[in-house]
Structure formats: structure tokens, C-alpha cells
Amino acid sequence: MSGDKALAPDAAELLDRTRRLLAEHPPATTDRTDFLRARFDAGLAWVHYPVGLGGLGAPRSLQAVVDAELAAAGAPDNDPRRIGIGLGMAAPTLLEFGSDAVKERFLKPLWVGEEVWCQLFSEPGAGSDLAALGTRAVRDGEDWVINGQKVWTSSAHVARWAILIARTDPDLPKHRGITYFVCDMTDPGVEVRPLRQITGEAEFNEVFLTNVRIPDAHRLGEVGDGWRVAQTTLMNERVSIGGARIPREGGMIGKAAATWRARPELRTHDLHRRLLDLWVDAEVARLTGERLRQQLVAGQPGPEGSAMKLGFARLNQAISALEVELLGDEGLLYGDWTMVRPDLVDFTGRDAGYRYLRAKGNSIEGGTTEVLLNIVAERVLGLPPEPRNDKDVAWKDLAR
């Protein structure tokens, strides 16, 4: 049914369904989780997903109609920041490559936020060059046995499930011997250790995997085809990081502009000009993100998401730096440096110093700026690729 455009509901029908949901589950008197579950069952979670999986096979653009109606009625939100990796990265990959049983099992608790997800991709020695990864998956009957180490794993300490890539054939060139799995973070072989970052928080972790058993039923895609599956995740990651829907002045620029308005004594002519430039850049980035989302309606996310993520990182760093400068000595104060393990990243809820330090990670997480520039050069501009001498060499023979 999802592929049958003739049966896909239009805006009027979605509005009607949304009003029915609100009438049957009034937000004021319905438990938050119960409401979100009912919303998923009504196909109003992500309307472009198939029937039975939280959607109605409707055009993706019509989600806005549902969201606006729900927001106006004070309905609870599923807090995409907390479950960002699940929603932004795991879900589209599960949808495209998971078996029916996998989709049925995982998508609802993921969307509702009852199960948090993390992403076990990066390793010491396999970050930008992710395909060099060395975590091994060896087949044993109906299971795979996983051994290795991952690093920089955001939310691993609160995650119930992980998307994981591991090497299944070291004799093949690096991109071809990788397979993609869903990993149970409660398995006794999974050890999560906090990594403290520049902000003082431990938002991410090292994850050690020792004889972790993953059923073959939790494999996504074919054996050895994990790199292709991972591309779906990574393209969605960039869109998800760079293309979040925000209102005008909703991001870091809102905080800087608010300080500007409230504190006339801090203003200088030079800062004024720079703030205006950044305000315009932030608005351009916001509207570009909107266009990217509309483009998504037509199909898969393209490499343009990489350009969006690049712009987002640069802008966040420029705005947070300007805010610290604007505040002068006050900008150097730092609230609290005790190590906490937050459930979510709060870009705008804390002080300017936190924003400045946390924005440093924006040009590393989800692909570094240098590597995204390479992607834009090759896939958007069609420039010649970087020379590579490891394309046809077995992974086990690569220098490490």
C-alpha cells in the first residue's frame, strides 16, 4: 500500500485523522507515552512510512500538516534530540534493509522513544577512513560472534540497541568485507566506558565488544554489503545533523541575538556588523535546510546533505565564538565542569562557554569538514577523486 500513490492520503485526510487521534486521546488527560503509541498506530508518526510501521505511505511533505495540528493542540513531542540517532540514522536504515520482523520489532519503540539507539561505527584507527574498521564478526551457527572496540559512541550509556558495522571477510578489499548488524547493548559482552570531552561532560563512550552474539536475523542487508548499508545511514546522518527543522532564530543565532538585544552596553560597531552577517548566514542555512527536506520528498538524501552539514558546523562555530567575544570577560566563565553523562546534547539551554566548546565537535562528528569537502568535490562538483591505492588490496594486507 505504501507504494500505491492512488491510495496515499492527502492533506485533508491527514488532518481528519489527526483530529480523530486528538479526540480519542486528549493530550491533557492522556499519558505521554500512551499518546505517542496511539499516534504511531494511527500512522501519524512519520506519515511517509508504510502502513503498520507508523505511517500511511503519504508524501513526506505532509508531515508538517500533522505536526502543526498536534502542536496547536498541545500534544506531546517524541523529543527527537534524545532519540536523534534512532530517528535520524537507525530508522531509515532499518526501513530500507531490515526484514519485516526487524521493522515490526524495532520501529515503534524507536519512534516513541522507549528504546534509545546508538551508532557503533567509529574505531580507533577507523574514523574518516571508516571502511578500515577492524571489529570482527565471525559466523557461528545462527549467530555472529563480535569482537572489537568502538569509540566516540554518543548515547551508548543510555542506548538499548545499536547499529553496528563489523568485518566479516578480511580477505576482501576493505569496502567489500563489511556487514551491518543490530547489536543488543544489554548483552554481557558489551562494556561501555565514559569518555570525557572538552565540555567536561561524557556524552560519548568507548565500547568494548567481547564475544557478543548477534543472531543472523539481526543482520541488515547481505553479508559483505555493509558498506552500502552504512552509506544510507551516513547520508541520513548528515541530513539529520545539518537539516533539523528549526524556527527563525531557533538555533545558536537566537541566543547571540537575544544577548545583543538585552545588553546594549556590550555592543560595538564591529560586532554589530559581524552579528548581522551571521544572522543572514543562519537564515540562509535554515532555508537551505528547508529546501533539502523538500528535496527528500522526492527520494533518497543526496550528497547535498554533506554540504548542509558543512555549513551548519562552520556557522555554529562562528556564532558561538562571536557570542563569547560579545560577552567579554563574562564569556570566559564556565558554569560547571563536573563530569556528567547527559541523556542529550543541549546546544541552546546552557551558557555561551558551553556552546563555544561543544560547537568544536560539530566539524568532527558525522564526518569531518575536510572529508565532507572531499565528498562535495567528488559527488556534487564531479571533480577527480583523491588517489587511492587501497581499493583492490585485501583488508588483512593493508598497512595499519
Ligand X SMILES: Cc1cc2nc3c(=O)[nH]c(=O)nc-3n(C[C@H](O)[C@H](O)[C@H](O)COP(=O)(O)OP(=O)(O)OC[C@H]3O[C@@H](n4cnc5c(N)ncnc54)[C@H](O)[C@@H]3O)c2cc1C
- By annotation, the residues acting in catalysis are 237
| Cβ proximity to ligand X, 60 vs 379, nearer residue | 379
Least distance CB 251 / ligand X (angstroms): 17
| Cβ proximity to ligand X, 63 vs 153, nearer residue | 153
Q: CA-to-CA distance for 144 and 122, rounded, in angstroms? A: 20
| Cβ proximity to ligand X, 155 vs 259, nearer residue | 155
Residue linked to cell 540517532: 85
Q: Is 127 an interacting residue with respect to ligand X (CB under 6 A)?
A: yes
| Cβ proximity to ligand X, 37 vs 174, nearer residue | 174
* Residues near ligand X (CB under 6 A), total: 20
**Listed ranges 50-58, 126-134, 209-217, 250-258: which one lies at the site for ligand X (CB under 6 A):** 126-134
Least distance CB 340 / ligand X (angstroms): 15
How many residues appear in the chain? 400
Least distance CB 162 / ligand X (angstroms): 9
Q: Is 149 an interacting residue with respect to ligand X (CB under 6 A)?
A: no
What number of other Cβ atoms are within 10 A of residue 365's Cβ?
Answer: 18
| Cβ proximity to ligand X, 63 vs 316, nearer residue | 316
- Cell numbers that stand for 199 in this block: 565540555
Binding mask 197-236 for ligand X (x = CB under 6 A): -------x--------------------------------
Q: Is 368 an interacting residue with respect to ligand X (CB under 6 A)?
A: yes
Q: Is 122 an interacting residue with respect to ligand X (CB under 6 A)?
A: yes
**Listed ranges 132-140, 259-267, 296-304, 366-374: which one lies at the site for ligand X (CB under 6 A):** 366-374
Tell me the three state secondary structure of residue 377.
Answer: helix
Going by DSSP bridges, is the β-strand pair 117-120/161-167 parallel, antiparallel, or unpaired? parallel
Q: Is 102 an interacting residue with respect to ligand X (CB under 6 A)?
A: no
Are 337 and 200 in contact by the 8 Å Cβ rule? The answer is: yes
3-state helix, strand, coil in the chain (%, to 5): 45, 15, 40
* Angle, helix 252-262 to helix 269-296, in steps of 10 degrees: 150
Cα separations in angstroms, 364 against 122, 193, 359, 372, 383: 12, 21, 10, 10, 23
Least distance CB 362 / ligand X (angstroms): 8
DSSP of 253-312: HHHHHHHHHH-GGG--HHHHHHHHHHHHHHHHHHHHHHHHHHHHTTSS--THHHHHHHHH
Cα separations in angstroms, 198 against 146, 286, 320, 337, 358: 31, 27, 15, 9, 7
**Listed ranges 132-140, 276-284, 361-369, 391-399: which one lies at the site for ligand X (CB under 6 A):** 361-369
| Cβ proximity to ligand X, 244 vs 371, nearer residue | 371
Least distance CB 166 / ligand X (angstroms): 12
Under DSSP, the state recorded for 330 is G
Binding site for ligand X (CB under 6 A): 118-119, 121-122, 127-129, 152-154, 204, 361, 364-365, 367-368, 370-371, 374, 386
